[in-house]
Amino acid sequence: MKGCNNKVSVRVCQLLVLSFVVCQLLFNLGACSSINCPVQTTVLTKYEIRNAAGLDTLNDTLYVWTQRMDENDTLLNRVTGSSSFTLPISYSHPEDTLVFLLADTAGLWTLDTLWLKKDDIPHFESVDCAAHFFHRITDVRCTHRGIDSVVIANPKVDYDQERTHLYIYFGGIRH
């Protein structure tokens, strides 16, 4: 009887160890196959064109530049007839400097500089997903030749492509 009990114990032990190994395999395989990185990982600032009455449309043509390492400085080229536009935001500069050129059909143009101050927040999804930065806009200021003013609408800049971050009012002094 005692021998029988020992045999049962050995069987139980074998069964448990086998189930442990199976569990290890199942869970480890499961872990390998479930990488859930976001599909949309572009982080952009959205500018909405406004006037005193609300949403406005850009009748002139807009160009935006910045200073980049490769000297290919254009961020936005010939935008017209639009109520909003998006611009990239630097990963780790405390302040981005953007140059806005607004040209009308008569050949008149204005040149403004916009400074966007922000906090850069490392955003992490998983070790399997690429590194990105989110941002919190802390201040925005500009010259006022073609731009009347710029207002922060939503300071948080992340993967959300629909959120408007800045309201821009054109209509300043022209040269």
Partner 1 sequence: MIRKGLICISILAAFAISTRTSAQGFLKWEADSVPLFRGFAVGFDLAGAAQQMLGDYGQLEGSLRLNLHNQYFPIVELGIGKANHEMDQVTGITYRTKAPYFRIGADVNLMKKKHTGNRIFAGLRYGFTSYKIDMDRQPFPDPVWLWDVSFGVKDEPCSQHWAELLLGIDAKVAGPLHLGWSVRYRRRLAHNDGVTEKTWYVPGYGIQGSTVLGYTFNMLIDI
Stretch that binds partner 1, among 110-118, 123-131, 141-149, 167-175 (CB under 8 A): 123-131
Phi-psi region of 107 (alpha: psi -120 to 50; beta: other; left: phi over 0): left
E strands, 2-94, are 44-51, 54-55, 61-65, 74-79, 84-88
174 binds partner 1 (CB under 8 A): no
95 binds partner 1 (CB under 8 A): no
Using DSSP bridges, classify how beta strands 95-103 and 132-142 pair: parallel, antiparallel or unpaired: unpaired
The CA distance from 143 to 146, in Å, is: 8
Stretch that binds partner 1, among 62-70, 110-118, 145-153, 159-167 (CB under 8 A): 62-70
156 binds partner 1 (CB under 8 A): no
Q: Which residues bind partner 1 (CB under 8 A)?
A: 6, 9, 12-13, 16-17, 19-20, 23-24, 27-28, 30-31, 34, 66, 68-70, 75, 88, 90-93, 121-131, 133-134
